[in-house]
């Protein structure tokens, strides 16, 4: 994109170059610097493409004169802002950025949006055409455009981190490459825009999650839920950094969803034990979050706080009100199964957890649900 200024052509050349690499590397072996090999090969193909098209002669002269420069984090931010241009719909912005910048598959994007793969494919195709026809520029926006554009970029980085933190696809249960990328790019945004409260809030949220990442899985890659995690292994330095970011964001007096989510996670990280968790405070924060970002998933998460504050009957009432909207979401059924166990309704709990098992492709979540189902079956006999 930096060299060509044409999203469609750039994407086509990258795809062609990857195909060539797969063919040649099978025969010649993977080069010492595969990223540099791909960039150089793509540049050559770009020059060949421009030579064949008279309309690009001026661009060809600029391209031939431009010194070789590999991509850097600033390039990725420019591409994210290009994909998140306001000329595109919100759904298209997120889908295109996850696909073009973060390397998500269509299936992963569909899972993140809770929509069909066909719908995502259509969004991607429309977004690519719009970038070309509208002449959307490849740059980080000026200060007067920032508020309009930054919210979508943060949404992309949030989804990117979530997918890495607990993958939706069949494969490794967590993807450290995605979490590292999301953390690095959000950190770069925090450096560029140190007085944007929600950027600081998202960075704090990411760091709080990363602080306990090492305790979330056993040596056999089984998922360890929050009540059972070794809190002594949490990274207290990273937690301190995150809390300082939250303080900086709060001082700006522009609250938002990422700051509130980070505050909720901070309540968990500051509790010495699971029993010390300040559930009334967490419930109050969820109530605030619903005013800023009302959604069925936020209400689902709030139902867990309701369980600990008002009991399982009240929590089940909240969950029953979400059935129509979240029936295809595995965590809805997993939470419902847990609440039904608390109420002693084991057969219904088993049905809910079987439904959750059928809806998730994450191996660690599947293993956890099977263990819960096994305990439920043995307890009932």
Give the pLDDT confidence of 243-283 residue by residue, as tens digits: 999 999 999 999 999 999 999 999 999 999 999 999 999 99
User: Tokens 């949490």, residue?
Assistant: 234
Q: How does DSSP assign 174-190, residue by residue?
A: --HHHHHHHHHHHHHHH
Q: How does DSSP assign 199-247, residue by residue?
A: HHHHHHHHHHHHHTGGGSB-TT--B--GGGS-GGGS-HHHHHHHHHHHH
| CA distance readout (Å), 295 to 166, 257, 301, 326 | 20, 11, 10, 11
pLDDT for 374 equals 81
Q: Of how many residues is the chain composed?
A: 381
Q: Do 289 and 267 contact (CB within 8 A), yes or no?
A: no
The whole-angstrom separation of Cα 204 and Cα 188 is 13
pLDDT for 60 equals 61
* Domain ranges for the chain: 7-65, 295-381
Return all residues near 199 (Cβ < 8 A) that are at least 6 apart: 150, 154, 186, 189, 190, 193
The whole-angstrom separation of Cα 196 and Cα 329 is 32
Query: Residues of 78-108 as b/e, b for ≥16 C-beta within 10 angstroms?
Result: bbbbbbbbeebeebbbbbbbbbbbbebebeb
pLDDT for 165 equals 83
**CATH code given to domain 295-381:** 1.25.40.10
Q: Do 2 and 73 contact (CB within 8 A), yes or no?
A: no
pLDDT for 68 equals 53
Q: Do 131 and 346 contact (CB within 8 A), yes or no?
A: no
Q: Do 93 and 113 contact (CB within 8 A), yes or no?
A: no
* Nearest alpha carbon to residue 338 among 381, 294, 298, 307: 307
pLDDT for 381 equals 46
DSSP lists the bridge partners of residue 223 as 217
* pLDDT less than 70: residues of the chain: 54-73, 112-114, 168-171, 376-381
Query: Which pTM was predicted?
Result: 0.79
pLDDT for 303 equals 97
């Amino acid at each position: 994109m930096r060299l060509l200024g044409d999203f469609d052509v750039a994407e086509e050349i990258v795809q062609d170059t990857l195909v060539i690499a797969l063919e040649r590397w099978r025969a010649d072996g993977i080069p010492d610097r595969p990223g540099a090999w791909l960039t150089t090969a793509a540049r050559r193909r770009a020059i060949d493409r421009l030579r064949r098209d008279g309309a690009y002669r001026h661009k060809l002269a600029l391209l031939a004169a431009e010194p070789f420069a590999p991509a850097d984090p600033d390039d990725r931010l420019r591409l994210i802002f290009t994909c998140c241009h306001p000329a595109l719909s919100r759904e298209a912005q997120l889908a295109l950025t996850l696909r073009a910048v973060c390397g998500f598959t269509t299936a992963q994007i569909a899972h993140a949006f809770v929509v069909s793969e066909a719908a995502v494919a259509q969004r991607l195709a429309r977004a690519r055409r719009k970038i070309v026809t509208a002449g959307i520029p490849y740059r980080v926006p000026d200060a007067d455009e920032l508020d309009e554009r930054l919210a979508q970029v943060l949404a992309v980085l949030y989804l990117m981190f979530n997918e890495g933190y607990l993958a939706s696809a069949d494969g490794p249960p967590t993807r450290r490459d995605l979490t590292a990328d999301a953390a690095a790019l959000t950190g770069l945004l925090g450096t560029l825009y140190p007085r944007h409260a929600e950027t600081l809030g998202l960075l704090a949220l990411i760091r709080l999650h990363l602080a306990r990442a090492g305790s979330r899985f056993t040596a056999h890659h089984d998922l360890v839920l929050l009540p059972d995690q070794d809190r002594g292994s949490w990274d207290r330095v990273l937690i301190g950094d995150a809390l300082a970011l939250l303080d900086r964001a709060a001082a700006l007096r522009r609250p938002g969803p990422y700051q509130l989510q980070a505050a909720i996670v901070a309540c968990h990280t500051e509790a010495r034990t699971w029993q010390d968790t300040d559930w009334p405070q967490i419930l109050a924060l969820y109530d605030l979050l619903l005013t800023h970002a009302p959604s069925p998933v936020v209400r689902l998460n709030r139902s867990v706080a309701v369980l600990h504050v008002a009991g399982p009957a009240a929590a089940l009432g909240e969950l029953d009100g979400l059935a129509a909207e979240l029936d295809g979401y595995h965590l809805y059924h997993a939470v419902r199964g847990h609440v039904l166990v608390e109420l002693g309704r084991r057969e219904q709990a088993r049905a809910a957890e079987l439904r959750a098992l059928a809806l998730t492709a994450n191996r660690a979540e599947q293993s956890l649900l099977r263990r819960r189902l096994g305990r439920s079956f043995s307890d009932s006999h």
